[in-house]
Amino acid sequence: MRLDPTRLRLLPRGRYLLVVDRRSGHWLSLAAEEEPFLRLLAADGLAPVPAEVRARVERLRRLLVDGKVGVDDPGPAFDRLNTLILKLTNACNLACSYCYDFEKVEHARVIDEETAQRAIAQALELCPERLWVILHGGEPMLVWELVERIVLRGEAEARAQGKAISFSGQTNMTRLDGRIAGFSLDHDILWGLSIDGPAPVNDALRVGHGGGGSHALFAECLRRFPRFVRSCGVLSTITALNQESLLATARHFRDLGMASWDWSLFQPIGRGRDLAGRLQLDARALGRGWDALFAAVEGREFNGFPVKPVTKYLDNFLRGPGHNMCMRARCGAGRDLLSVSADGTIEACDCIDPVGPLGGLGHMAGGSLASARAAPLAERIRSRDMDRNDPCADCIWFALCGGTCLAHAGDIDALWPEACAMAQLAFDRISLSLAGSDALIDYAGSLR
């Protein structure tokens, strides 16, 4: 394999030098003294250098090639659909102030059952082995009987096609009952639960249609079904109001005994558009909040508890890009992911603004997932390559970051500045920490 030194970027990390392949995300940590020899790699063959220097440069070249750093490595392709988001309804019993997607129950749509089943059957045909179906909304637990029928038919269709199928979902968990918990356990439906923090934090924005906070409804479900609720991962929406209290929020959910904690960074679309002035994230304040959280993870306070705003960066750094479809150069939208809305519209990703320039690949009525995936707009979405654009074009973290979410950025060649600042901070802190201690390796090990 031929080494291409133009792919390499060097970053001093104390006594070490981090050598990153910015195209594949593979990296090596070398002694800092190797830097002059590494720099000769690009010039090797041109400059007349003594034999011992040439030998040292050659040793480095072999080390890099063996570690697949600086060599062409296409990695996994992700060119087949494997994930389908089904927005079962845009109805919701809550009216969170920032919500990008809800309607009062009486004005809302529910997905046509046959459409949902056809979407799953088509997705199974397109997927290589296993299909992940994410039940979404609005609030999916409002249409529970429909959920059961969709899951049962989906499982039967998967068996008929000789494929595997897994269901997960995102819920406000205010309508949990024994039937929902039992069916979810029987069919391995993994639920993520949305709540923003203790009552005063949560109730500032996660409110009912009458305006009152929703925390009490969650607390009641936790009281009635403690094991089931605690088996769910928590997702908190981060806005200007709670961006600096990430550590307190993570501690709160760890201490409640929840399975994990994750964040959804505020996107000013839908109803959130009207509150952008008040809720818009500030990159520096968010960075301060993340830094405090990271210090606690590094200080081993969270061993055994997945703090996903840290692990999503840490996993990519340790395992390489791919597993997280939002943090790789070619993200999932319109590639390994499609989303079907309650009205049957097919989107490349549910985060894409349906009324924006990237919304609407097609419709299940008169169309199919395959035709939507082949549509010119889907091709355009898949053509996103931030490696062509500043500031990503020369960024050391490009492969590990991917250039931020195109839905949040708003267009194919646009960048989401807050996520860019976050990624730079996170990869800087993580690489520095790994050069000086085993704390993050121990943390990653504690989560296995």
Ligand X SMILES: C[S@@+](CC[C@H](N)C(=O)[O-])C[C@H]1O[C@@H](n2cnc3c(N)ncnc32)[C@H](O)[C@@H]1O
Nearer to ligand X (CB atom), residue 83 or residue 237: 237
Orientation of helix 283-298 relative to helix 308-319, angle to 10°: 70
221 binds ligand X (CB under 6 A): no
Of 264, 368, 371, 424, the one binding ligand X (CB under 6 A) is 264
Q: 93 with 139: CB under 8 angstroms? A: yes
309 binds ligand X (CB under 6 A): no
Nearest approach in angstroms of CB 397 to ligand X is: 23
397 binds ligand SF4 (CB under 6 A): yes
- Let me know if 165 is exposed, middle or buried by CB neighbors in 10 A (0-12, 13-18, 19+): buried
Stretch that binds ligand SF4, among 32-40, 286-294, 314-322, 386-394 (CB under 6 A): 386-394
172 binds ligand SF4 (CB under 6 A): yes
- SS3 letters for 276-299? HHHHCCCHHHHHHHHHHHHHHHHC
Running DSSP on this structure, what letter comes out for residue 275? Answer: G
Q: 60 with 80: CB under 8 angstroms? A: no
Nearest 10 degrees: CA dihedral of 2, 4, 9, 14?
Answer: 30
100 binds ligand X (CB under 6 A): yes
Stretch that binds ligand X, among 266-274, 384-392, 399-407, 416-424 (CB under 6 A): 266-274
How many helices (H) and strands (E) the chain has is answered by: 18, 12
Nearest approach in angstroms of CB 202 to ligand SF4 is: 11
Please list every residue from 319 through 358 that binds ligand SF4, using CB under 6 A.
Answer: 325-326, 331-333, 337, 349, 351
- The partner in contact with residue 306, picked from ligand X, ligand SF4, none with C-beta cut-offs of 5 to 8 angstroms by kind, is none
- The partner in contact with residue 332, picked from ligand X, ligand SF4, none with C-beta cut-offs of 5 to 8 angstroms by kind, is ligand SF4
272 binds ligand X (CB under 6 A): yes
- Let me know if 115 is exposed, middle or buried by CB neighbors in 10 A (0-12, 13-18, 19+): middle
What whole-number distance in Å separates Cα of residue 343 and Cα of residue 354?
12
What whole-number distance in Å separates Cα of residue 122 and Cα of residue 393?
37
Nearest approach in angstroms of CB 22 to ligand SF4 is: 8
List the structure tokens of 47: 């400059």
Please list every residue from 162 through 191 that binds ligand X, using CB under 6 A.
Answer: 170-172
- The partner in contact with residue 272, picked from ligand X, ligand SF4, none with C-beta cut-offs of 5 to 8 angstroms by kind, is ligand X
Nearer to ligand SF4 (CB atom), residue 114 or residue 220: 220
- The partner in contact with residue 243, picked from ligand X, ligand SF4, none with C-beta cut-offs of 5 to 8 angstroms by kind, is none
Q: 8 with 67: CB under 8 angstroms? A: no
String marking each residue 406-445 x if it binds ligand SF4 according to CB under 6 A:
xx-------x----x--xx---------------------
Residue 409: Cβ within 10 Å count:
19
Q: 88 with 101: CB under 8 angstroms? A: no
Nearer to ligand SF4 (CB atom), residue 57 or residue 258: 258
- The partner in contact with residue 120, picked from ligand X, ligand SF4, none with C-beta cut-offs of 5 to 8 angstroms by kind, is none
Stretch that binds ligand X, among 39-47, 260-268, 341-349, 433-441 (CB under 6 A): 260-268
Nearer to ligand X (CB atom), residue 173 or residue 381: 173
Q: Are strands 345-347 and 8-13 parallel, antiparallel or unpaired?
A: unpaired
What whole-number distance in Å separates Cα of residue 191 and Cα of residue 175?
13
What whole-number distance in Å separates Cα of residue 353 and Cα of residue 358?
7
String marking each residue 98-137 x if it binds ligand SF4 according to CB under 6 A:
-x-xx----------------------------------x
Which regions of 302-371 does DSSP assign to beta strands (E)? 337-340, 345-347, 362-363
Nearest approach in angstroms of CB 74 to ligand SF4 is: 19
Please list every residue from 333 through 362 that binds ligand X, using CB under 6 A.
Answer: none
List the structure tokens of 28: 């090596």
- The partner in contact with residue 24, picked from ligand X, ligand SF4, none with C-beta cut-offs of 5 to 8 angstroms by kind, is none
b/e string for 209-227 if b means 16 or more Cβ within 10 A?
Answer: eeeebbbebbeebbeebee
**Contacts with ligand SF4, residue ranges (CB under 6 A):** 92, 94-96, 99, 101-102, 137-139, 172, 194, 206, 325-326, 331-333, 337, 349, 351, 386, 391-392, 395, 397-398, 401, 403-407, 415, 420, 423-424
**Contacts with ligand X, residue ranges (CB under 6 A):** 92, 98-101, 136-137, 139, 170-172, 194, 235, 237, 264, 266-267, 269, 272
